[in-house]
Amino acid sequence: MAKKKNRCYSGIGGQAVLEGVMMKNKDKYAVAVRRPDGGISVEVDHYQGILKGSKLKEIPFVRGIFNFIDSLVLGMKCLNFSASFYEEEGEPSADKENGAGDKLMSILVTCFSLALAVGLFIVLPYYLASLLNGYLRNQSLVAIIEGAVRILIFILYVSGISLMKDIRRLYRYHGAEHKCINCVERGRELTVDNAMRSSRLHRRCGTSFIFFVLFVSIILFFFIRVESPVERVVLRILLMPVVAGISYEIIRLAGRSDFILVRLISAPGMAIQRMTTKEPDRDMVETAIAAVEAVFDWKAYLRENFGYDSPEEEMEEDFGGQ
């Protein structure tokens, strides 16, 4: 293999699910789940998003808002699919009534999760920082403290849930997802051995995105100057789509550039990833590879970007393709 680059953007991304990994390439995604019997089940489908090809998804700073919503919707769908293999009652019923109930439950869970996130990462930090108003007259300093508290709460939250056994396994599959993407983006054949040697940290990770959201919110909320505490909280909530749009552009740049400034601003998010990713075992990496190969031709990608020739292709040439 004659490498031409150190690293090259592949366009694939994903997330960890219950005992598995979801990988997405453009509109196509695959969920690979390690079944209780030890086998791997792979579901392949297409997801075009809530706007389905609208030009709005091509506008910088606007596309990030809709991509964030799409990631939440698709992520919940994939989590439900992986969970279906581990339900106590066995295989879930396929009748329409249960299907509608599952969809409603997913919507309720998503709404509850968003409400919890707003309360935990917006309202609570503001409330805690506002307790200092009687001691600090500098509102700019209070705003900075609010942002620091927000980041601290996030770190404590990530650390706290990592104590749960299921979350630790989820973090290991998260590591397997990153290892596979790093493996191909570094120009290596996507094998279990090569993936195991790859890094479990990646700049385009959702963890880094959340950190950028928190960091950008510090800067943006710093300039909010209204007297009413209620208005301050409402403005913070209303500005979150703007924060998400800016954060998306930053992480999009981080996934495509090795510029020193990009590496510096990516460093804190990469550090937090050491908590949200753990070293996977070989079975976890094998599951992640199954998801990648269902949506992404990594051999063609390596051939185009790194001058890769697979042993199978060389053998076909030697034997005249017979």
pLDDT tens, position by position, 149-196: 999 999 999 999 999 999 999 999 999 999 999 999 999 999 999 999
Tokens for 27? 């509109």
- Whether the CA torsion 48, 51, 54, 58 is positive or negative: it is negative
pLDDT for res 89: 42
pLDDT for res 161: 93
Residue 270 has pLDDT above 60, yes or no: yes
Task: Give the neighbor-by-neighbor strand order of the sheet with 20-25.
Answer: 12-17, 20-25, 28-34, 40-46
- In the structure, what pLDDT confidence band is assigned to residue 3 with cuts at 50, 70 and 90? very low
CA distance 133 to 230: 15
The residues, any chain, with a CB within 8 Å of residue 240's CB and separated by 6 or more, are: 118, 122, 213, 217
